């Protein structure tokens, strides 16, 4: 599609400190652990 893949989302985050990076990573891991669908992948051959 001209707009790109609807199943892929890209984001760029900026943090003011390394501590914030670690906090964000920990929060993201919590969300991924809570929602099985975020741990799912499909290998298309």
User: How confident is the model over 3-40, as pLDDT tens digits?
Assistant: 788 878 889 999 999 999 999 999 999 999 999 988 88
Report residue 2's pLDDT band, with 50, 70 and 90 as the boundaries: low
Q: Is a pLDDT exceeding 60 seen at residue 1?
A: no
Residue with tokens 């707009």: 3
**What pLDDT score was predicted for residue 33?**
94
Q: Which helix (H) or strand (E) holds 34?
A: helix 18-34
- For residue 30, CA distances in Å to 1, 3, 23, 26, 34 come to 33, 31, 11, 6, 6
Residue with tokens 């298309």: 44
């Amino acid at each position: 599609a001209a707009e790109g893949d609807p199943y892929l989302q890209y984001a760029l985050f900026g943090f003011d400190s390394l501590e914030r990076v670690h906090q964000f990573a920990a929060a993201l891991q919590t969300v991924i652990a809570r929602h099985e669908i975020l741990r799912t992948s499909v290998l298309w051959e």
